[in-house]
Amino acid sequence: MDIIKSIEHGLDQLDSDRGAWDELKLHISDLGIWSGLEEGDRKCPRSLWYRLNGLPKEPFTAGEKLMFLQGHRLEELVVEMLDMSVLLATQVPVRIDDLPGVSVIGAADIVMTKRSGDAVVIDVKTRRGNSFKYSKSVKPAEKMQVLGYAYALRGCVEGKISGMILEVDREGQNFCRVWEFGIRTGEYLSVIDAVKELLEIKTMKKPPDGFEPTLIRGKNKGADSLKLNIPWQCRWCKYAKTTCDYCPTQEIFEQHGKVVGHISDSGEINGENYMINLAIQ
């Protein structure tokens, strides 16, 4: 008996028991592609187009499947541990279908209703321990997700709606922390804009632009160094190695974070040919 194969089979069974996440539909989390966000904060619209059109992607490894399952289980456990003396609703289904031709679906992790009639929309995120050190504020794409839930629920709440990201350390280095934020009515305009962009991407015949590597210039006494920076959207993308012609080759991927060339005071670049067309930061 191959123990490892048996565990992997059991992992796939647990994953299928949770129900399939429909990749061909638009989800509230997709609002993170909104162009109003900084490039370093937003999700990749090109990757979304690939997903909606069912193009081939690299499968998740067994380790990645285990990580996601662990995250889901931990999120469910956190909800169970919350003080049930407050009025909580969990996995609240929502839908945004204000605009013709597009419907965006999702489920809010937690909606907490206060005695005043106000409500807090809470999204639970599991993190690596180190993210508690370098992350100093709510992630804009995740805030957009909560804004989407709040927008969809605005007609069901008597009072005001605020948002919260509840982060849980899945590695045990930390415990939990929250990012709370108020929601102004005017912020719902960003949700409407993002839904319009989702509709535009969905109806495109060709994929939209994606993100490209850049070169980060480091000051030196001599020629300045050029360090290759591959966007996180590309490093985590499952379409990078199978479908996306924006993404670099595996050889270039392996150079991420390394000095790959130099630039003189006159602007002359010394390095690989692929560096010539890359933007320098």
- Summary mean pLDDT of the chain: 87
C-alpha torsion 232→233→235→238, nearest 10:
160
Q: Are 210 and 244 in contact (CB under 8 A)?
A: yes
For the chain, domains (ranges, CATH) are 3-203 (3.90.320.10), 214-280 (no CATH)
Q: Is 35 left (phi over 0), alpha (psi -120 to 50) or beta?
A: alpha
Residue 223 has pLDDT above 80, yes or no: yes
* Tens-place pLDDT, residues 15-41: 665 666 789 999 999 999 999 999 889
137 Cβ contact partners less than 8 Å away, ≥ 6 residues apart? 179
* Tens-place pLDDT, residues 174-212: 999 999 999 998 999 999 999 999 999 999 999 999 888
CA pair distance 281, 231, nearest whole angstrom: 13
CA pair distance 136, 127, nearest whole angstrom: 13
* Tens-place pLDDT, residues 227-274: 888 899 988 899 988 888 777 677 778 888 888 888 877 777 777 666
Give the pair of three-digit tokens for residue 235: 């490093």
pLDDT at site 17: 57
* Tens-place pLDDT, residues 141-180: 999 999 999 999 998 898 999 999 999 998 889 999 999 9
Residue 281 has pLDDT above 80, yes or no: no
Q: Are 238 and 57 in contact (CB under 8 A)?
A: yes
pLDDT at site 199: 96
